[in-house]
Structure 1
Amino acid sequence: MEMFSAIRNSTTGLAIFAVVTAGMIALTQVATSERIEHNVREAEAKALYEILPRDSIDNDLLENTTEFVAPTLLGHERPAKAYRALRDGTVAAVILPVVAPDGYSGNIQLIVGINADSTLAGVRVLAHKETPGLGDKVELKKSDWLLGFDGKTMHGDTDSSWAVKKDGGQFDQFTGATITPRAVVNAVGRAIRYFRSNRAALLGLGEEVAEHGN
C-alpha cells in the first residue's frame, strides 16, 4: 500500500508540475509573441519611412492600407497589406511587402515602394538569413546596393536589362555572391509587374485588388 501511495503522490506531483510548466510556457509565448509583433511593426514602420519620408507624404502609412493575396508574384499565400502614400488627396505611391523565396539561405523579406508612374521609390530588406560578409550586403547598413533601385522601372515584363550583370542585366552582383542579389532583383521585378496589373486597385481608383493567381 505504501508503494502505491508513493506512486500516486509522485504521479500527482508530476501532473501538477506539468500543468504549471505548461502554463508558464504559454504565458511566455504570449508575452514573447506580443513583443516580437511590436518589434516587427517598429522595424516595418522605420523601413517604410526610409522609402517614403514622413515629410514627403500627407498621411500615416500604417493607417492607409489595402489587403491582397498574391502567391505567385509577391509570395503571399495569406492576406498581406499594401501601404498607400497620399499627396494632395491622391495615392502617389504604394509600398508592397514581397517575399523572395530563392535567396541563398532561404526567404528574403522585402518591401518595395512603387510610385504611381511605376518607377521605384525604394527597396528595403526586412529580414533574411544570407551569409554574413557576402549576401548580407542587401542590408543598407552593410552596403548602398539597394539604393541602385531608386527611380528605376522595368520596360515591359520581359525587360532583359532587369537582371544582375552576370545574367546580362544592369544590376551589380556581390563579389563572391550572385544568388542573393539575383533573388532580390527578380523579386522587385515581380513587384513592379504586380503593381502594373493591379495599378487601379492599388491606387484606389475603384477596382478590387486581385486576390488569386498573381
Structure 2
Amino acid sequence: MIISSMTKNGGILALFALITTGAVGVIHTLTADNIAEQERKQLSLQLQDVLDPHFYDNTLYQDCAIIDDPLIGDQPQTIYRARKDGQPVALVIRHVTPKGYSGDIELLTAVFANADVAGVRVTKHEETPGLGDKVEIKKSLWITSFKGQTLHSEDDQRWAVKKDGGSFDQFTGATITPRAVVGSVKQAVLFSKNNFDAVFNASNACQVGES
C-alpha cells in the first residue's frame, strides 16, 4: 500500500510539474512578441534621445555593427548607423565605463562624421542618489552639455572636468562619476573619429525585416 501510495503521489507531482512547465511555455510564447515589441520601442526612444530623427531616414535599430574595441568597453558593443538617402550621417555608440563611483556606467553617444556630438545619454548606472546620479537626464541637464561638442584630437584638453583642467562641470561632492562619463564619451567620439567609415562598411549585425 505504501509503495502504491508513493507511486500515486509521484505521478501526481510529475503531472503537476508537466502542467506547470507547459503553462509557463504557453505564457512565454504568448508574451514573447509583446516583450520584443516593447524592447524595440524603448530602444527607438533611446536612439531618438541622442540623435534627432530628422537627421536620418533608415530604421536605426535595424542597421548596426557589433564592435570589439577597448575604447568603448571590455566587451563587444552595438553601434547603430544613421543614414540619409543612403549616405552615412552618424554613429550611435553603446559604450561602458567601469570607472563610476559605484561600478559600470552604460552610455549611448551619437557622433556625426565630423566628430561633432549629437547627443549623449546614460542608459544604466548605480551611482549615488543625489550626487552621482545627476548624470541621468531625469535628475539634471548635465548630460546635455555634450551636445554640439567636438573632439579635435586625442589630446584635446577640453575633454575633462574643470577640476582636471577641462571644460565640463563636475558635481558638488561628486567628481568621480562625471569624470568617468566625460572620459568614456571622449573615447567613444575618438573611436568614431578613427573608425567612422570602417563601421559603415561592416556587415549588418541587426536582424533585418523586423516590423
* Same fold, judged at TM 0.5 (above): yes
Segment of structure 1 superposing worse, 48-57 or 186-195: 48-57
* Number of the residue aligned with 1:174: 171
CA distance in 1: counterparts of 2:91 and 2:49, whole angstroms: 13
Change (3 A) 1:37 1:186: farther
CA distance in 1: counterparts of 2:10 and 2:16, whole angstroms: 10
The structure 2 residue matched to 1:75, chosen from 61, 73, 76, is 73
Q: State the 1:106 CA deviation.
A: 3.0
For this pair of structures, how many residues does the alignment match? 203
* Number of the residue aligned with 2:124: 127
Q: CA RMSD in A?
A: 2.6
Query: Cα deviations across residues 75-99 of structure 1 (Å, max 9, x unaligned)?
Result: 263462422232x542222211112
Letter in 2 for 1:48: L
Q: State the 1:172 CA deviation.
A: 1.2
Letter in 1 for 2:81: Y
Segment of structure 1 superposing worse, 192-201 or 34-43: 34-43
* Number of the residue aligned with 1:108: 105
Letter in 2 for 1:98: H
* Pair 1:43-2:42 in alignment: yes
CA distance in 1: counterparts of 2:132 and 2:35, whole angstroms: 24
* Pair 1:191-2:188 in alignment: yes
State, as a whole percentage, how many aligned pairs show the same letter: 40
Whether the aligned pair in 2 keeps the contact of 1:69 and 1:76 (CA below 8 Å) is: no
CA distance in 1: counterparts of 2:181 and 2:77, whole angstroms: 22
CA distance in 2: counterparts of 1:99 and 1:160, whole angstroms: 22
CA distance in 1: counterparts of 2:93 and 2:60, whole angstroms: 12
TM-score, length-scaled by structure 2:
0.81
CA distance in 1: counterparts of 2:54 and 2:18, whole angstroms: 52
* Number of the residue aligned with 2:206: none
* Structure 2, unpaired ranges of 5+: 204-211
Q: State the 1:119 CA deviation.
A: 1.2
Q: How does 1:11-160 map to 2 (within 5 A)?
A: 11-28=10-27, 35-63=34-62, 65-75=63-73, 77-78=75-76, 80-86=78-84, 89-160=86-157
Letter in 1 for 2:173: G
* Structure 1, unpaired ranges of 5+: 210-214
CA distance in 2: counterparts of 1:148 and 1:42, whole angstroms: 26
Whether the aligned pair in 1 keeps the contact of 2:111 and 2:119 (CA below 8 Å) is: yes
Q: State the 1:39 CA deviation.
A: 3.1
Whether the aligned pair in 2 keeps the contact of 1:43 and 1:126 (CA below 8 Å) is: no
Secondary structure of the structure 2 residue equivalent to 1:130: coil
